[in-house]
Amino acid sequence: MFVRITADSALRPNSLRDLGLTSESNALVSLSEFSYKKGTEIYGEKEPAEYVYQVKSGAVRSYKLLSDGRRQIGAFHLTGDIFGLANGAEHRFTTEAIVDTTVRLVRRQSLEIVAESDALVAKNLLSMTTNNLQHAEDHMLLLGRKTSLERVAAFLLEMDNRLTASGVIALPMSRRDIADYLGLTLETVSRALSRLHDLGILGFVGNTQRQIILLDRNQLASLDLQP
């Protein structure tokens, strides 16, 4: 693994709380930080699930591959997100750093042990899993029934909500990543963005590789039928 240890792996109290897993019994759990260079794998599908991760900075994609290379990205993990959690004994996705990324991690086992005796931690585990499930359920609707324009609009709204909620976003992922998340090709994503630009629903700031996008959330929302 191309990882670099950037912080202590000391035993610290409150580490569960750091992961959003509020605990009254301040169990001692090892909490480390790791950094992954852009494009490197964090863990692979079918690997034993040893750790649970939280994005400290950067962005992560988690995906499945078919044997012929077709890829479906199930989720993007952004700053603050916890991932690698919703697994049985082994990971069901491969995850990679989209940009240089730093994560915090705790041993999965220590979480399970604490959850055994601490109902609050158990509750939070369930609640996080339920959130993941809800996201997957919404995404099934998108993948099964929405048009390319609706998918891209929904994607932009989701990213705006999660990144800034301000109508100005800098996407960390490529067109190909977006396409594999939305079940489209990168060309179709590009065309949809151009179309939204032509419609005056979004604009680009600067001509940098990963553009900053200004968007009109109301107009986007009208393109993305939810109910």
Partner DNA sequence: CGGTGAGTTGAATCGCCTCAAAGGGGGTGG
Partner DNA sequence: CCACCCCCTTTGAGGCGATTCAACTCACCG
From the list 174, 203, 216, 217, which residue makes contact with DNA (rule: CB under 7 A)? Answer: 174
For DNA, the closer CB: 115 or 213: 213
Binding mask 182-221 for DNA (x = CB under 7 A): -xxxxxxxxx-xx------------xxxxx----------
Is residue 72 part of the contact set for DNA (CB under 7 A)?
no
End-to-end alpha-carbon separation of the chain, Å? 44
**Residue 180 beta carbon to its own copies: minimum distance, rounded to whole angstroms:** 8
Name residue, tokens 């998340």: 181
Closest among 74, 222, 225 to 145, alpha carbons compared: 225
From the list 149, 168, 170, 214, which residue makes contact with DNA (rule: CB under 7 A)? Answer: 149
Outline where DSSP puts E strands in the chain: 3-5, 11-12, 29-36, 41-43, 51-57, 60-65, 71-77, 82-83, 94-97, 101-107, 168-170, 202-205, 212-215
What are the structure tokens assigned to 72, written together?
């479906």
Kindly indicate which of the ranges 7-15, 31-39, 175-183, 206-214 contains the residues binding its own copies, using the contact rule CB under 8 A: 175-183
What H or E segment, with its residue span, contains residue 143? helix 119-145
Task: Provide the binding-site residues for its own copies, judged by CB under 8 A.
Answer: 64-68, 70-72, 74, 86-88, 92-93, 115-117, 119, 122-123, 125-126, 129-130, 132-134, 136-141, 143-146, 180, 182-183, 225-227
Task: Provide the binding-site residues for DNA, judged by CB under 7 A.
Answer: 147-149, 174-176, 183-191, 193-194, 207-211
